[in-house]
Amino acid sequence: MNRLKTILILILAGVLLAGCVSTPPAQVQPTVQPTATVQPAKAPSTLTLNGAGATFPYPLISKWSSEYNKIKPNIQINYQSVGSGAGIKQITARTVDFGASDAPLTEQEYANVSGILQIPESLGAVVVAYNLPGIEKGVKLTGDVIADIFLGKIKKWNDHRIISLNSGIQFPDEDIIVAHRSDGSGTTFVFTDYLSAVSPDWKSKVGKGKSVNWQVGLGGKGNEGVAGLLSQIPYSIGYIELAYAKLQNISYSYIKNKAGNFIEPTLETTANAAADVVLTLPAGDTSWSSVSIVDAEGNNSYPVSSFTYLLVYKDQVDQTKGKTLAEFLWWAVHDGQKYSSGLLYVPLPNEIINLNEKTIKLMNYNGQSLIQG
Amino acid sequence: MGNHSFRDRWMNIPKLSFFSRSKLSGDFIFEAVVGFFALGIIVLAFLLFRELFIESGISKNTFGVSFLTTSTWDPVNEIFGALPFIFGTMVSSFLALLIAVPFSLGIAIYLSELAPEKLKIPLSFIIELLAAIPSVIIGLWGIFILAPFIRDYLAPPLSTYLGFLPLFQGPMYGLSMLTGGVILAIMIIPITSSISREAILTVPIHQREGALALGATGWETIRIAVLPYARSGIFGAVILGFGRAIGETMAVTMVIGNSPRISESLFSPSYTMASVIANEFVEATSKLYISSLIEIGFLLLVISVIVNIAARILVWKLLKVEGGGRA
């Protein structure tokens, strides 16, 4: 009797274990196998490209994924938005086919991944947003004033340095409350890159990075966290992505650029900044660590913006997959750009597309170029 | 195993020889299987500890003890000190206990001793349901409802009447150590109150009858006969709540303000160990940076282990002194 019981228990345990270890084969769908092998001259098999990286371009890349799947139904593109850092780690370890990062690889990161290509696939702008009851968007600010606010040197809204930039606006005698990102992010990188470019004081005290040592303020997690702080706290100031500010109707400032004009952040003024620097950009297979489009020269260029990059290997190890990847990238930087503005991303200027064409043509399998173009 | 096998222990059967049937019976296999499961958890915990220890090596070599005693957290120049995070975790968790313990005890006493039968089950069910709310939901509620409420209605009277204490000085923006403590308190009330209730329910009925027979009032019965008897169980519940508070990440990250500075005021923003890992780990790329974040994780684990061991020791001591109590 007892024996029967224990046998029963064991059988049950065995079934449970089996349930944990493997799923019944009937549920495995052949279409989602990540490493589809080459099947020449047969019905097209499904091929999956896996990517991982920055959260900023995620909506754009998923749009591309679904649109590209309509054109080529046998190609599937999966993108995990795990953060630029994790994206760089994964492409370095070759666990994904492409990575994505909001900042170019640093010298150290670049040295760790031999033969990587950096392809700017879109542009993002960061706006300085605020909550000033009764005051709409368009408060004019300069780089050094923004730096001093975020350093805690300018403490009040009616500081003479703010008033002197904005004749006609009545500023309240209230403390400025600074809101910044608490999580590591490309948005912080772009913002601190800009402040480092325009304020020597900022550069020496804080510097640029995805996370920095903030001197003052409250930290919110994600764009939504900072936007939440801004909407909750009157007289606060913070920085968020342009797209997020537009969608949430948050007031943002116009910032003085290098040419001396106060520029409203829009898709066009951001694209102008990219077009300004195109002549100075390096080739796609060299280090981009010093590339920055903040504080651009042009008359009508918004000064706080940056590229966001796709990362792929120059030497592909799988011919079919490499060719598919190259073709997808080619499509993304050409036809794919028409989906940008709808999602409030900045379409690449033609000069950058030309540069990307050269870079994508460098992709090869055993020395054989993977795309003709 | 051998002379401590399942059958021997429970059925008082004399030990059989090595080749006996019982040795290879289903019981033996069963014992091996469940023993494997139990050991598996211990091995897993050990591996976790080991991995964190090894991975934090670079940071330990670079900063040594100063990691625990300095307050600069500068990812750009790679200078890391964890003191503000340790401070934030400990203070917010103690604050949470300070708020949660009276509430939890009140709930436990009401539910076990005073509530009408009809209310007991639905009430305890609802309180336990509170523990099932995902912490991100509590965090969102914290940002949009609790933080403005504390800023507009709780902070002004505190600074008016208790403003002479450094604890309640300075401006209050809603996101603060105080808000973090309140959120944590709300999150640990379900666990502390339901375990305290269990502890009180285990008090034998004759304890109460004895006290009542001696002429004690309801309150006196609870104070003299019930609470001392259940005190080690209640203490255990409080420690479990503390354990949950120091490890809680999402909700507290959303309301504490994420500013790594040590301030006397509960109105200032602060930062916890779990929060900084959640915030910065994904985008950390340099080895020293990652290693420093892992060292914070290691410290968090060490603190939880110390808290739990201290709790056990205290419970044992209480048992010895009180005699009557039970774990």
List A119's β-bridge partners, or say none: A310
Task: Provide the residue type at A132 as one letter.
Answer: L
Grouping H, G, I as helix, E, B as strand and the rest as coil, residue B161 is helix
Q: Is A89 on the interface with B (CB under 8 A)?
A: yes
Q: Which of residues 158-217 of A touch B (CB under 8 A)?
A: 175, 177, 182-185, 206-214, 217
What is the DSSP pairing of strand A305-313 with strand A116-131?
antiparallel
Chain centroid offset of residue A170 CA: 37
Chain centroid offset of residue A225 CA: 17
User: What pLDDT shows up at residue A372?
Assistant: 75
Residue B260 has pLDDT above 70, yes or no: yes
Residue A221 has pLDDT above 90, yes or no: no
**Which run of H or E residues covers position A52?**
strand A47-53
The length of chain A, given as a count of residues? 373
- Which candidate, B244, B254, B208, places its Cα nearest to that of B229? B208
Q: Do B75 and A109 touch (CB under 8 A)?
A: no
Residue B94 has pLDDT above 80, yes or no: yes
Q: Do B33 and A88 touch (CB under 8 A)?
A: no
Write the pLDDT tens digit of every residue in A307-334. 999 999 999 999 999 999 999 999 999 9
Q: What is the mean pLDDT of residues A220-249?
A: 89
What is the predicted ipTM? 0.79
- Which candidate, A108, A70, A105, A129, places its Cα nearest to that of A247? A129
For A212, the closest of B76, B175, B278 (CB atoms) is B76
Between residues B223 and A43, the one the model is more confident about: B223
Q: Is A157 on the interface with B (CB under 8 A)?
A: no
User: What pLDDT shows up at residue B6?
Assistant: 57
Q: Do A218 and B143 touch (CB under 8 A)?
A: no
For residue B318, what pLDDT band results from cuts at 50, 70 and 90? low
For residue A204, what pLDDT band results from cuts at 50, 70 and 90? very high
Residue A23 has pLDDT above 70, yes or no: no
Query: For residues A173 and A155, is the Cβ–Cβ distance under 8 A?
Result: no
Q: Is A238 on the interface with B (CB under 8 A)?
A: no
Residue B138 has pLDDT above 90, yes or no: yes
Question: What contacts A258, CB < 8 A, 6 or more positions away?
Answer: A295, A296, A297, A301, A303
User: What pLDDT shows up at residue B98?
Assistant: 96
The side-by-side arrangement of strands in the sheet containing A254-256 is A140-141, A254-256, A262-263
Query: For residues A152 and A193, is the Cβ–Cβ distance under 8 A?
Result: no
Residues of A in contact with B278 (CB under 8 A): 183
CA dihedral sign, ordered B244, B247, B253, B256? positive
Q: How far is B172 from chain A (nearest CA, A)?
A: 10
Spatial separation of the C-alpha atoms in residues B71 and A213, rounded to whole Å? 11
Q: Which of residues 52-111 of B touch A (CB under 8 A)?
A: 72-77
Write the pLDDT tens digit of every residue in A90-129. 999 999 999 999 889 988 889 988 899 999 999 989 999 9
Q: Do A88 and B25 touch (CB under 8 A)?
A: no
CA dihedral sign, ordered A229, A232, A236, A241? positive
Write the pLDDT tens digit of every residue in A144-185. 999 999 999 999 999 999 999 998 899 999 999 999 999 988
Among A189-203, A205-219, B14-28, name the one with the lowest average pLDDT: B14-28
- Torsion angles phi and psi, residue A247, rounded to 5: -65, -35
pLDDT over 90 for what percent of chain A? 60
Spatial separation of the C-alpha atoms in residues A40 and A74, rounded to whole Å? 14
Residue A19 has pLDDT above 70, yes or no: no
List A100's β-bridge partners, or say none: A53, A310
- Torsion angles phi and psi, residue A139, rounded to 5: -65, 130
Query: For residues A274 and A349, is the Cβ–Cβ distance under 8 A?
Result: yes
For residue A83, what pLDDT band results from cuts at 50, 70 and 90? confident
Average pLDDT in chain B? 87
Residue B104 has pLDDT above 90, yes or no: yes
User: What pLDDT shows up at residue A1?
Assistant: 45
The stretches of chain B forming alpha helices (DSSP H) are 6-11, 26-55, 57-63, 66-69, 83-109, 117-130, 135-141, 147-149, 155-161, 177-201, 205-213, 218-220, 227-247, 250-255, 273-280, 287-322
Residues of A in contact with B275 (CB under 8 A): 182
Nearest CA in chain A to B81: A213
- Which candidate, A92, A97, A96, A86, places its Cα nearest to that of A54? A86
Q: Is B253 on the interface with A (CB under 8 A)?
A: yes
- Which candidate, B201, B225, B198, places its Cα nearest to that of B214? B225
Query: For residues B181 and B190, is the Cβ–Cβ distance under 8 A?
Result: no
CATH architecture of B84-322: Orthogonal Bundle (1.10)
User: What pLDDT shows up at residue A24?
Assistant: 39
For B173, the closest of A208, A210, A233 (CB atoms) is A233
User: What is the C-alpha end-to-end distance of chain B, expressed in Å?
Assistant: 27
User: What is the C-alpha end-to-end distance of chain A, expressed in Å?
Assistant: 77
Spatial separation of the C-alpha atoms in residues B207 and B220, rounded to whole Å? 12
Question: Kindly report the CA angle at A293 between A290 and A298, in degrees rounded to 5?
Answer: 135
Q: Let me know if B313 is exposed, middle or buried by CB neighbors in 10 A (0-12, 13-18, 19+).
A: exposed
Classify residue A252 by its DSSP letter.
B
Q: What is the mean pLDDT of residues A286-302?
A: 91
Where exactly are the structural domains of chain B?
Answer: 84-322
**Which run of H or E residues covers position B80?**
strand B79-80
Q: What is the mean pLDDT of residues A260-280?
A: 91
Q: Do A207 and B73 touch (CB under 8 A)?
A: no
Neighbours of A174 (CB within 10 A): 15
Query: For residues B93 and B183, is the Cβ–Cβ distance under 8 A?
Result: no
- The two three-digit tokens of residue B274, written as one number: 């779990």
Query: For residues A96 and A113, is the Cβ–Cβ distance under 8 A?
Result: no
Spatial separation of the C-alpha atoms in residues B186 and A174, rounded to whole Å? 33
Residue B8 has pLDDT above 70, yes or no: no
For residue A338, what pLDDT band results from cuts at 50, 70 and 90? very high
What is the DSSP pairing of strand A236-241 with strand A177-181?
parallel
Query: For residues B107 and B237, is the Cβ–Cβ distance under 8 A?
Result: no
Q: How far is B30 from chain A (nearest CA, A)?
A: 7
- The two three-digit tokens of residue A229, written as one number: 């702080």
Q: Do A6 and B27 touch (CB under 8 A)?
A: yes
Neighbours of A85 (CB within 10 A): 26
**Which run of H or E residues covers position B202?**
none
Q: Do A3 and B25 touch (CB under 8 A)?
A: yes
Query: For residues A286 and A165, is the Cβ–Cβ distance under 8 A?
Result: no
What percentage of chain A's residues is helix, strand, coil (to nearest 5)? 40, 20, 40
Neighbours of A261 (CB within 10 A): 15
Q: Let me know if A49 is exposed, middle or buried by CB neighbors in 10 A (0-12, 13-18, 19+).
A: buried
Spatial separation of the C-alpha atoms in residues B300 and A108, rounded to whole Å? 30
For residue B171, what pLDDT band results from cuts at 50, 70 and 90? confident
Residues of B in contact with A101 (CB under 8 A): none
Spatial separation of the C-alpha atoms in residues B242 and B305, rounded to whole Å? 12
**Which run of H or E residues covers position A120?**
strand A116-131
Helix A319-333 × helix A350-361 angle, to 10°: 170
Q: Do A85 and B174 touch (CB under 8 A)?
A: no
Question: How many residue contacts between A and B have a Cβ separation below 8 Å?
Answer: 105
User: What pLDDT shows up at residue B52?
Assistant: 94
Residues of A in contact with B269 (CB under 8 A): 218-219
Task: Provide the residue type at B243 as one letter.
Answer: G
